[in-house]
Amino acid sequence: MTEFVTSADGTRIAFDREGAGPPVILIGGAMQFRAFDPATAEMAHLLAGHGFSVVNYDRRGRGESSAEPPITLAQTIDDLRALTELLTEGADDAVALFGNSSGGAIALAAAAAGLPVSKLVFFEVPLDAEGGAEGAVFVEELRERIDAGDRVGTLEVYMADMPPEWLEGAKQSPGWPTMLEVAPSLLPDAESLAWTQSAPRAELWRGITAPTLALVGEQTQPIMTSAAASLVASMPDATTRTIPGADHRWDPHVLALAIAEFLVG
């Protein structure tokens, strides 16, 4: 059954909660939300079966977490704070975060902003080079399209650096109207990725002392392996692990087990 928590500005954030044990929040990447992402729902169910209280939520501006643009990274962190406070009320004082793709950059920003985090797990955070300017340019281009109400242009900008067949496949898919609907909610993804280039990463992440695992697929793109290496090099307590056979997608059973093993260990 869908539950709701109220964020700092009054926005209601919808989520599913399953299992009992240490709390884990799943942070979706670009365009992911519960009704549009059965793989994460399955993975949440499997992870709960490993002994965790797992929250799979609709990020602001997606699914049942209705919100009008502009949708910002700061608001997204407030939403995670509200979820964390709910989960830790009278229980543990910290949550584990799993961030998929750009959701991993949001998890990093939340942890750096002081969210009480016990452990962090990422799957293929698409970080550009440390200290580069690509992220800031990306944010401005995306914001221009969102402010103009150009949802097709928003998605085209967001997916410009992805393999071209991904965008063409998306446009031809039955999910394209849904992607257009949630397009304005992509700004926090871009903001969080730009933030990772805003200062030396060791400085940005100095205060994130939670044990961290950066997962990458065995068949992934080079940017993902270099990003994982950058995370490990720049964080106080981080390791990386390869998921056999995976590219930028994953098998729910395999990923749930990998996350559970790290959280338990």
Q: Please tell me the predicted confidence (pLDDT) of residue 265.
A: 85
Q: Please tell me the predicted confidence (pLDDT) of residue 141.
A: 97
Q: Please tell me the predicted confidence (pLDDT) of residue 38.
A: 97
148 and 183 in contact (C-beta within 8 Å)? no
59 and 185 in contact (C-beta within 8 Å)? yes
CA–CA separation, 195 and 77 (whole Å): 13
Q: Which two tokens stand for residue 167?
A: 């965008």
DSSP 8-state class, residue 3: E
Instruction: Give the global pTM.
Output: 0.96
- Report the C-alpha dihedral over residues 42, 55, 109, 252, rounded to 10 degrees: -10
Q: Please name the amino acid found at residue 150.
A: D
Domains annotated on the chain, with CATH: 3-128+200-264 (3.40.50.1820), 134-183 (no CATH)
CA–CA separation, 57 and 247 (whole Å): 24
Q: Please tell me the predicted confidence (pLDDT) of residue 249.
A: 86
- How many other C-beta atoms lie within 10 A of the C-beta of residue 68? 9
- How many other C-beta atoms lie within 10 A of the C-beta of residue 158? 23
Per-residue pLDDT of the chain (265 residues; tens, 9 = 90+): 899 999 999 999 999 999 999 999 999 999 999 999 999 999 999 999 999 999 999 999 999 999 999 999 999 999 999 999 999 975 558 999 999 999 999 999 999 999 999 999 999 999 999 999 999 999 999 999 999 999 999 999 999 988 889 899 999 999 999 999 999 999 999 999 999 999 999 999 999 999 999 999 999 989 999 999 999 999 999 999 999 877 888 999 999 999 999 999 8
Q: Please tell me the predicted confidence (pLDDT) of residue 245.
A: 75
Q: Please tell me the predicted confidence (pLDDT) of residue 162.
A: 84
* Pair type for strands 117-123 and 212-217: parallel
155 and 167 in contact (C-beta within 8 Å)? yes
Q: Please name the amino acid found at residue 41.
A: A
Q: Please tell me the predicted confidence (pLDDT) of residue 2.
A: 97
